[in-house]
Structure 1
Amino acid sequence: MTDSKAVSDSGLTVSDLTQEVKDVELNSAGEIDSGSDSNKEAQTAEKKKKKKKKKKSKKKAIAQTDPPTIPITKLYPDNNFPEGEIQEYGKDFTMKTIFNKEEIKRKEKNEDNFQALNDMRRAAEVHRQVRKVAQEYIKPGRTMTSIAETIENTTRLLVEEKGFEAGIGFPTGLSINHVAAHYTPNAGDNLVLSEQDVLKVDFGVHVNGRIIDSAFTMTFDPKYDNLVKAVQDATNTGIKAAGIDVRLTDIGEQIEEVMESYEIELNGKTYPIKCVRNLCGHNIAPYVIHSGKSVPIIKNGDNTKMEENEVFAIETFGTTGRGHVIEEGVCSHYAKNADLTPQQIGRIPLRIPRAKTLLNSITKNFGTLPFCRRYLDRIGEDKYLLGLKNLVDSGVVQAYPPLVDIPGSYVAQFEHTIVLRPTCKEVISRGDDY
């Protein structure tokens, strides 16, 4: 076969000749005369003009504003949201699945599984954009209330808050120094962030009850760098260790080994960095932030295994203190007891009438999602403290007071949400920041 680029006697290629034939055919149909140079130029100009018109008709991709004001669904109109970081399982798992490829493919294509995953990806993209705002906004001198409201209002905007379809996953945690978790400001709290504080920022986003739970630590003095590095390293170790059929105690053992390999010098004294032994990661279920299994951050002998399609929050806490927290301080975090059915709740006597109306409001607005006092204020509830206490005392609502190590110590935290997909694990909340 003759190559299409072979040269003819006239010095033209076969392609050139073919084009001439086409031009003559056009001319016989009353189109541009291909033999005229001026007509050739006109033809070329006309083609360019058409190309330009086509380019103009293309719609520009929507870009996020700075600060972000455009809901995430408007940035991804096809509703396919960004995939998280993909991590492969170990070689042992790969060998187990090699004979079951068809079943795995079927599971990966399962519509319900994909929809749940896509909801989490949407929530995760909201989380990434909100925390970027938070990281720029948070500075010494800001009040805890202004920080919490900035995070929450941005979340509501970007996720397009709509009842149980989309919104805040749980109250914004802004725990400082020896307070490890479960602090958010109540109304009238004027606590101000200082330059010497170690701040844990822990907030959640949900879409159709699929909660993204992710946290990071901010400091403003480089002397805390080793503490932050230790906890981030430990969390990433836990993520790497997690997987289908992995025993929970084995994950804790690896986290503990990495965390406690670090130390920190503060004011001329060296402190070992310890795991907070009685804090851990956890399962996440639809509309339930703490569900079923706990992921330890020390070797604890729990031989329970992780399973396919489970969602986990892998979080670690490192401290310069004793490595054990207790409940202390004014409570701000609450959640309706997810273990009780409506029938069981209906049989529990509530001695204060206000408790009944408050319970109806909690059920209507939050369901089993955690809430705080500021959220009750926001929906118009007032004079509710006695009723809330009655709900807690009766076990209908659970209280989550601040968790603290010894005063003078410093606690750091990092956390990501992961999904154990059939063929890989996806770190849904991973971003460029952590």
Structure 2
Amino acid sequence: MTSATAAQSNGVAASVDKVADQLAQTNLSATNGTHTNGNHNSNDDEADEDDDDDEDDNKAGAAADTGAAKKKKKNKKNKKKSSKAKATQTAPPRVGLTKIFTNGQYPVGEIQQYDTSKFSEERKRVTDEELRERERIVQQEEGFDYNLIRRAAEAHRQVRQYAQSAIKPGMTMTEIAELVEDGTRAVVEAEGFESGIGFPTGVSLNECAAHYTPNAGDKRVLQASDVLKVDFGVHVKGRIVDSAFTLNFEPTWDPLLDAVRAATNAGIKAAGIDARLGEIGASIQEVMESHEFQVNGKTHQVKCVQNLNGHSIERYSIHGGKSVPIVAMPDLDVKMEEGEYYAIETFGSTGRGYVIDQGDCSHYARKAKMPKSIPIRVHSAHGLLRTINKHFDSLPFCRRYLDRIGEKNYLLGLKHLVSLGVVQDYPPLCDVAGAMTAQYEHTILLRPTCKEVVSRGMDY
């Protein structure tokens, strides 16, 4: 989910590849269409099973009745083995990750080393042993176990793998959004604030770059000529994975997608502890705007959408306090810091490279910090705020989610909460009509010892 700059008319607050073959250098491998780090197939179980078989073989010369008893015993063991068999993912995805990763450990993301030339003098003096100890200690704090974000990332990979093959022209936007959301709830085993959807599924089309998901009654149908951005989030105990990809169904816009994917990877490469946010934006812009291509004899230079940004991510808060620009900002001296989570996302456009609020709003989020006294004057807003607090808290939601939990006639109350500043609205963000936009996004974790691209997959 993107963050837009303060230059937009709705006043939304500023928050703002290595390519797939590089995955061979990481500890990820493809298994049943998902990624494992090799630790999820228990060798202990296999060793135990071999020992059982050897024991039966060694007693093969026993009396016939003893042999029969052993045969029964072995059959029972075989049944026990089959009962331990791990589940595999279905299509559509409906198997929870705990049934697939039975040891409770989830795949490590792509590991990248930091550019140590950017380190402060103080950090350069820290030993590797001290960094490893920091990493051990930080994971003991509530909500900081890396396994939480890795579980969310694996859910994202499995859901998007199916989505990329299942989404076809002719589907309604509601069908597409629900395909993603139903899969997410099932795979991450959604349970209140413990785990679930991180924010509404964005299915923005063509000149619309972000923040569009269908409201009830939306009949729009995906066309073969459309460029579709699919942006969705998964969380476990408030640790949100925010990752997005773009689909097109005709080769016309392939160069646009290639440019944006490359720019996102440039941003990931430039990111790291002590990296300056303005310099990351320059790295992204240099790669993005080096691409141009022709459509029907017209040359398009890919432009960065200058008022859209990446952003830091905090627990239960998709937009943290820092924005990552996708254009050069030499005066922005703010640095990334150890332990932070970031969504590195870029948007490329064939239009003017600037978006404005346009269309019916669908995305909302209650402010993380609530005032002690709220002067609510619309009766329906009282109950709606209680519903938001109960089901979403500070996680973003959309109108369809309110419909799903049975809320009725809530629009007046919702608008009132927005007017009070209790709830923030996030309208669709669009470039000029006729433009095409694309998006790619990954979530990264700045560990003390290395940079982990937690949402990386074999797809992007």
The Cα shift of 1:264 comes to: 2.1
Change (3 A) 1:107 1:93: farther
Paired with 1:62 and 1:231, the residues of 2 have a C-alpha distance of: 36
State which of 71, 78, 81 in structure 1 corresponds to 2:96.
71
- The code of the aligned residue for 1:112 comes to Q
**In the alignment, which residue of structure 1 is the partner of 2:279?**
250
**Matched AA of 1:76:** F
**Of the candidates 370, 382, 395, which is equivalent to residue 408 of structure 2?**
382
Deviations 1:106-126 (A, max 9, x none): 112123368531111000100
CA displacement at 1:271 relative to structure 2: 1.0
Q: Where does residue 306 of structure 1 map in the other structure?
A: 336
Q: Quick one: which of 80, 86, 105 aligns to 2:105?
A: 80
1:410 counterpart (436, 440, 443) = 436
- TM-score of the two chains, using structure 2 as the length reference: 0.80
What letter matches 1:223 in structure 2?
A: T
Distance in 1 between residues matched to 2:59 and 2:432, nearest whole Å:
85
Contact 1:116 / 1:210 at 8 angstroms: preserved in 2?
no
In structure 2, the residue matched to 1:235 is 264
2:91 is matched by which residue type in structure 1? Answer: D
Q: Provide structure 1 residue ranges, at least 5 long, that are not aligned to the other structure.
A: 1-38
Whole-angstrom CA distance in 2 between matches of 1:196 and 1:61: 41
Q: Is the CA contact (8 Å cut-off) linking 1:328 and 1:404 kept in structure 2?
A: yes
- Cα distance in 2, alignment partners of residues 140 and 381 from structure 1: 31
Aligned to 2:395: 369
Aligned-partner Cα distance in 1 for 2:379–2:289: 51
Q: Is residue 89 of structure 1 aligned with residue 117 of structure 2?
A: no
> SS at 1:280's partner residue?
strand
- For each residue in 1:89-111, what CA deviation from the matched residue of structure 2 results, as whole angstroms up to 9, or x when unmatched? 12436895464233212112123
Q: Which amino acid aligns with 1:140?
A: P
Shift of 1:131: 0.5
Indicate the SS of the match to 2:132.
Answer: helix
TM-score (norm 1): 0.85
Correspondence 1:137 to 2:162 = no
Q: 1:329 to 1:41 in 2, by over 3 A?
A: closer
Deviations 1:291-347 (CA, angstroms, capped at 9, x unpaired)? 100000011121100000100000000000001101111000000012x33xx1x41
Counterpart position of 1:353 = 379
| 1:196-248 deviations in Å (ceiling 9; x for gaps) | 00000000000101000000000011010100000000000000110000000
Residues in 2 aligned to 1:244 and 1:381: alpha-carbon distance in whole angstroms: 44
What corresponds to 1:61 in structure 2?
A: 86
Q: Show the counterpart of 1:23.
A: none
1:191 to 212, 220, 223: 220
> Does the CA-based 8 Å contact 2:128-2:449 persist in structure 1?
no
What code does the residue aligned with 2:290 have? S
- How far has the Cα of 1:195 moved from its partner? 0.5
Give me the identity figure in percent.
59
Once the 2 structures are TM-superposed, how far is the Cα of residue 170 of structure 1 from its aligned partner? Answer: 0.2
2:138 matches 1:108? no
C-alpha contact 2:200 2:213 (8 A) present in aligned 1: yes
Aligned length: 388
Tell me if structure 1 keeps the 8 A contact 2:118–2:275. no
User: For 1:369, what is the secondary structure of its paired residue?
Assistant: coil
Match of 1:147 among 151, 159, 176: 176
Give the equivalent residue in structure 2 for 1:24: none
Name the aligned partner's letter for residue 75 of structure 1: I
Q: CA deviation at 1:63?
A: 2.4
Whole-Å separation in 1 of the counterparts to 2:350 and 2:160: 26
Distance 1:278 1:383 in 2: 34
Query: 1:154-169 residue pairs with structure 2 within 5 A?
Result: 154-169=183-198
Measure the CA separation in 2 of the matches of 1:416 and 1:143: 26
Distance 1:76 1:92 in 2: 38
Q: Distance in 1 between matches of 2:191 and 2:92?
A: 22
| RCO comparison, higher one (Cα < 8 Å, 6+) | 2
Structure 1 residues 262 and 347: alpha-carbon distance in aligned structure 2, compared to 1, 3 A threshold: same
